[in-house]
Amino acid sequence: MTAHSADLWSYAEIARHISVQPETVRNYRRHGLLPEPDLHDTAGHPRWYADTIRAWARNRPRHR
C-alpha cells in the first residue's frame, strides 16, 4: 500500500475521482455498481479505501 492508499473516501471523493456528481455515485451504489464499502465511519457513513475505488474505476464500463 502507498501512503495514500489507506485514505478513506466518501461519495464526494469518489465523485471527484471519476468526474461525476456525488448523487451519481450514490445511484451506482443503489444499483449495485459500486463495491461494498470497506467500512462505515463512526456516524455510519460508508467509506472506501482509495485503492478499492481506483481498482473499481479502472475496470468500470464507461458511459453506461
State the pLDDT confidence band at 3, using cuts at 50, 70 and 90.
Answer: very low
- pLDDT of 64 > 70? The answer is no
Helix axes 50-59, 11-18, angle to 10 degrees: 40
3-state class percentages of the chain: helix first, strand second, coil last, to nearest 5: 40, 10, 45
Tens-digit pLDDT profile for residues 21-54: 999 999 999 999 999 999 999 999 999 999 999 9
Q: State residue 10's pLDDT score.
A: 97
Q: What residue type is 60 in one-letter code? A: R
pLDDT at 4 over 80: no
Residues 6+ apart with CB under 8 A from 25: 11, 14, 15, 18, 34
A 10 A CB-CB count for 46 gives 18
